[in-house]
């Protein structure tokens, strides 16, 4: 069986999840990989057959999306050309992790496409949303990378086609400890802004993993480290907690490890607002903006010993079996 696994390349979560599926799939099928988008530091660990610009956003430095750079980097003509030229008909199966080129190539040709993503969970109205919905993003959940069938991932099984998170093997086997340090991953904020706030809280060491720096350096009790998978995992294993955006994979890993967790959704990123709502229901603290106004909340969080641990089961093999046998729910 010849299979195309198409992966969104914005952020590291999609590739991190794919790294769990790729080794197992490659032993069972003739596998090819497609990645579109940018802003990923994690290697898939397998040869990539196709790389496309896709349609994605650029992280800003003040808590939101850099809209100017996002628009500047858009290549609509390339996207249409890639959709038209991608030969999806030569595959027996297309698996799609919120990747628009292959999704639209399949839709144009009337070929089934199986979604395998966190975003697929929002095809269900049972998935938590904030009080104020965003109609434009709700539309995008259905049309950005349309699929015929789907397996969605979320913090709980809110619907029949939704599974709990895929936790990386490195995290599942991690030996943890507790040092007076906190791991920080807030890629939508500048290093200077993070330092200006975190350096005021001197009771712990802050290990900040940065998309904006190409070298490591220390400022008082704040350590800035360019995003690196191995260093991030080591820091998380030894930390009391994780301060991060309201993406999906990073909070899920903290929940699995039982690390204290606080999330800050990217401004204007409705999906992260939805995730924050779901995390709030689980008892996780969230704040809307990272600046000096949250110092008291950060202090309270640091000294609160409460943490939540969820032993998410490993369902990778069952999901692969369901996909290869084409027993995935239509959406």
**49 and 148 share one domain:** yes
Could you read off the pLDDT of 223-251 as tens digits, one per residue?
A: 999 999 999 999 999 999 999 999 999 99
Could you tell me the CATH number of the domain that includes residue 82?
A: 3.40.50
Q: What is the pLDDT of residue 67?
A: 55
**181 and 273 share one domain:** yes
Q: What is the pLDDT of residue 275?
A: 98
Could you tell me the CATH number of the domain that includes residue 270?
A: 3.40.50.2000
Grouping H, G, I as helix, E, B as strand and the rest as coil, residue 246 is coil
The alpha helices in the chain, defined as continuous H runs, are 13-28, 67-73, 76-85, 100-109, 135-143, 169-172, 191-198, 229-238, 249-257, 270-282, 295-303, 316-324
What's the total number of domains in the chain?
A: 2
Could you read off the pLDDT of 14-42 as tens digits, one per residue?
A: 999 999 999 999 999 999 999 998 766 77
**143 and 260 share one domain:** no
Are the C-beta atoms of 33 and 46 separated by less than 8 Å?
yes
Residue 116's Cβ-count burial label (10 Å; 0-12, 13-18, 19+) is buried
**6 and 53 share one domain:** yes
Domain hosting residue 93, numbered range: 2-166+314-324
Q: What letter would DSSP give residue 289?
A: -
pLDDT-based confidence at residue 329 (cuts at 50, 70, 90)? confident
| Residue 309 in domain | no
Model confidence, pTM = 0.92
Beta strands 181-185; 241-245: pairing state: parallel
């Amino acid at each position: 069986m010849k299979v195309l696994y198409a992966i969104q390349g914005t952020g590291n979560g999609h590739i991190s999840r794919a790294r769990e599926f790729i080794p197992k799939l490659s032993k069972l099928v003739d596998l090819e990989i497609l990645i579109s988008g940018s802003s990923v530091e994690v290697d898939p660990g397998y040869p990539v057959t196709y790389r496309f610009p896709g349609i994605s956003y650029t992280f800003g430095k003040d808590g939101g999306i850099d809209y100017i750079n996002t628009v500047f980097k858009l290549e609509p003509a390339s996207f249409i050309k890639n959709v038209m030229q991608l030969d999806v008909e030569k595959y027996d199966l297309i698996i799609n992790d919120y990747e628009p080129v292959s999704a639209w190539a399949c839709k144009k040709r009337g070929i089934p496409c199986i979604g395998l993503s966190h975003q697929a969970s929002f095809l269900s109205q049972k998935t938590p949303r904030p009080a104020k919905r965003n109609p434009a993003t709700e539309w995008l959940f259905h049309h950005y990378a349309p699929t015929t069938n789907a397996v969605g991932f979320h913090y709980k099984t809110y619907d029949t086609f939704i599974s709990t998170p895929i936790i990386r093997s490195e995290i599942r086997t991690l030996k943890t400890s507790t040092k007076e340090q906190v791991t920080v991953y807030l890629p939508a904020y500048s290093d200077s802004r993070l330092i200006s706030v975190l350096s005021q809280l001197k009771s712990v060491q802050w290990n900040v993993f940065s998309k904006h720096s190409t070298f490591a350096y220390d400022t008082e009790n704040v350590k800035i480290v360019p995003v690196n998978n191995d260093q991030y995992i080591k820091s998380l294993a030894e930390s009391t907690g994780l301060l991060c955006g309201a993406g999906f994979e990073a909070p899920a890993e903290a929940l699995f490890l039982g690390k204290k967790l606080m999330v800050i959704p990217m401004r204007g990123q409705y999906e992260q607002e939805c995730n924050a709502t779901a995390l709030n229901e689980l008892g996780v603290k969230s704040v809307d903006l990272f600046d000096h106004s949250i110092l008291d909340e950060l202090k309270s969080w640091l000294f609160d010993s409460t943490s939540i641990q969820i032993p998410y089961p490993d369902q990778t093999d069952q999901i692969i079996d369901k996909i290869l046998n084409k027993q995935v729910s239509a959406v």
